[in-house]
Each structure stands twice: as structure tokens, then as C-alpha cells.
Amino acid sequence: MPHTFDLLVVGDANPDVVLGPLDEPLAFGQREQLVSDGVLTLGGSAAITACGAARLGLSVALAGRIGDDGAGRFVRAALEDRGVDTRALRVDPGLSTPLTAVVARGEDRAILTAPGTLAAVAPGDVPERLLTTSRHVHAASYFLMPALAAGLPGLLRTARDHGATTSLDTNDDPSGRWDPSGIAAVLPATDILLPNAREALALAGQSDLERAAAHLAARGPLVVVKDGARGALAHDGRTPSRAGSVPVEPQDTVGAGDSFDAGYLAAVLAGEEPGRALRIAAACGALSTRARGGTAAQPTWAEALAALAHDGENH
């Protein structure tokens, strides 16, 4: 059966309002604080990853839920403008589209999310025809969608049974619990786990990043960890490997990890060997920080390779 898409992404899509930088603590008491920049842009880990992959030349579909509201229409239009197929993005008539406000301060940020449709996203929102005909299936924001999370092992197994590879970026757990039983169930059906360093430590219950990656890799997946300015770490259960970051002047790091995910998946699907895939992913994450919001500066495949060449890699 021919492939319908290179990549099916399952998860969250919402508008982001990104404000900053804030040079002092966030204040209450009806105080109004001024920042130099603000942007309304597409957000959600799944949506940003989907856009990054489409920018890199993959055919991409997104499955999830939005509300029947202006925010939902903004999300669908933004995805389609970036070449993402939204036919599997369901409209929920009873719930609102999620909304996120991001306040940046220095290299850190505060993230406030109204979940809207997220808790209602369920395995039935993912069309079986996409699971069984896509080359790769990626899931994002595991802890924000508990109904989907419960059925995710089955969805990923279905994809694998039909020849697809799979990946997961859990993102943060707002509850702070990092449910070990749920993660234990989904990792055996996951080919690539894509946490950032803090998430990897929390998921593994470890204090050393390399040990955390090894611990998670022992559950089945290749573990690829985003480590900020230090680049990235990959662990296959036997051997760790590292890639440095590409130097840029960052304007905003929102969505950089999701652009890294897109770069890694695009590189793997292009047949790149693991070390080079890691370098390409690090370049995609770094280049995405050149503008405000998660999607405005996502690189093309040619731009990512050019950044590696400029940074000294031989082709």
C-alpha cells in the first residue's frame, strides 16, 4: 500500500501569545508591566513539530482537536499555510481551542495554558488509515492529553505493525508526577524518545543525564535528548553520542525543541546515519530561535545543511 504521508503527528495545536523579555518578576496586584516584544503565533508541541517537518520537505498530517472558535480557525489556517494537512484535525463543538501565554525572562520562560480540548483528545481522533499508511508516527505533549496517553501504546503498535516507525516527545508534566506506569507502557512501542534534559531526568528518576538516557533506552527506544546550548545527547542502550549546538544569536527559544524533533525525524526518514541526524536536529533547533515564536524561523533542509557546513562539518 502506498504511503499517504511521510509523517503523522498526533497531539496539541493552539495559539501562543509570546511576550518578553520581562526584566523583573511577574507581578500581580493589578500592575501592568511592559515588555519590548509580543507575537501571536502557532503553538503546541505537535503543531510546531509538524510545521518544522513540512518546512524540511516532508509530507505531514496532524491529528488532534480544536474548538469551533476563532482560535481554532487561526490554528487551522496557520497549519495549512505551512503545508500541513489538517483533515484529521477535529473540531469539537463543546470545548474551546487551547490557549497558551508564554512570558520570557532571560533564558527561562513561564508558560500558562488553558487546556480547552486537550483532555478530550482520544485515540479515536486518530484515523486508522493514517496510522497504517504513514511512514512515521510522532506523538507530543503526552501529559496534557490523558485520554490519548492511555491509548497511545495501542496506536503506536498499530503503526509499527504496518511498517511505520514511531516517536514520542512527552514534554512537561504540569502535575509534576511523571507517571512511571504510563511511560513504562508506551516506551516499548516507541522507536525514538525525544525529551529535553530536564524531562529525561524526571522520566528516569535520575540526577545524571547520561545515566537517565541509558535508563530510558533500556526500556526500548533510542533516546535523543535536547540539551540546550550544550547540543544533544543520544543513547541506544549501549553507547552514548553527542552533538554540539550550532551558534546563533537567539531571539526566542519557544518551540526550539519541537523544531529539533522535526529535524531529527526528517534526517532519519532521509536515511541519514545517527550521528549526522543528531547534528542536523541540533542545527534545526538552534536556527528556529532566530525569530519570535516557534515556527517563524524554522529552517529548510538546505538551510540546516548549510549551517552544519558553516560550523565546520565536511560534506
Active site residues: 258
Of 195, 235, 176, the residue nearest 211 (C-alpha): 235
> For residue 228, how far is the Cα from the chain centroid?
14
Q: Which three cell numbers stand for residue 23?
A: 526584566
Of 26, 29, 207, 229, the residue nearest 112 (C-alpha): 26
The helix/strand/coil state of 237 is: coil
Cα 175 to Cα 314: distance, rounded to the nearest angstrom: 45
The helix/strand/coil state of 140 is: strand
Cα 299 to Cα 175: distance, rounded to the nearest angstrom: 33
> For residue 188, how far is the Cα from the chain centroid?
20
Of 287, 286, 282, the residue nearest 297 (C-alpha): 287
Of 113, 123, 160, the residue nearest 10 (C-alpha): 123
Cα 134 to Cα 178: distance, rounded to the nearest angstrom: 29
> For residue 107, how far is the Cα from the chain centroid?
19
Helix ranges restricted to H, 224-255: none
Q: Which three cell numbers stand for residue 53?
A: 517537518
Cα 94 to Cα 72: distance, rounded to the nearest angstrom: 13
Cα 277 to Cα 296: distance, rounded to the nearest angstrom: 22
Beta-sheet strands, E only, within 53-135: 60-67, 84-85, 89-92, 99-105, 108-114
